[in-house]
Amino acid sequence: MTDGAVGLTIGEVARQTGLSVHTLRLYEREGLLTGAVTRDAAGRRIYRDWDVEWLLNCTKFRASGMPLATIRRLAGLVGEGSGNEAERLALLREHQQAVLARMADLQACLELISHKVEVYEAHVAQGTVGGVWSPAPARS
């Protein structure tokens, strides 16, 4: 890093988080960080290790389906500091329930798919694939 600034450049953060530079700028614009990103004398963003840790959490939140608005609210609460932990907990619990419901839905989907795979494997192995899941003939 140049200009005596201590921290990480946007490129370094992109490499560490797997997020693109464009996405990092978007997250900043959308208020998804817990505070303002500092700038060096030349106006370049300087990130802290904490920012990287938060961004890694954000990638997990997004991957789990957490809406940007919820991440924004959570980031705001974290940025405010202590005293609002109950509200943070409520946001996280609500999302936890949504993820558990989604996992249950996906488990049901997986069970159906696994059953169909078993049926097709058996028919393919026996050479009896004709008629497996074929549409019924049209009635005249």
pLDDT truncated to tens, each residue of the chain (140 aa)? 444 457 999 999 999 999 999 999 999 999 999 999 999 999 999 999 999 999 999 999 999 999 999 999 999 999 999 999 999 999 999 999 999 999 999 999 999 999 999 999 998 898 887 767 776 666 76
Rounded to whole angstroms, the Cα distance separating 109 from 112 reads 5
CA separation for the pair 127, 51 (Å, rounded):
58
For domain 10-126, the CATH architecture is: Orthogonal Bundle (1.10)
d(CA 109, CA 102): 11
Calpha distance 19→123 (Å, rounded): 45
Listed in sequence order, the residues at least 6 apart from 113 whose beta carbon sits closer than 8 Å to its beta carbon are: none
- Please report, for the chain, the start and end positions of each structural domain, with discontinuous segments joined by +: 10-126
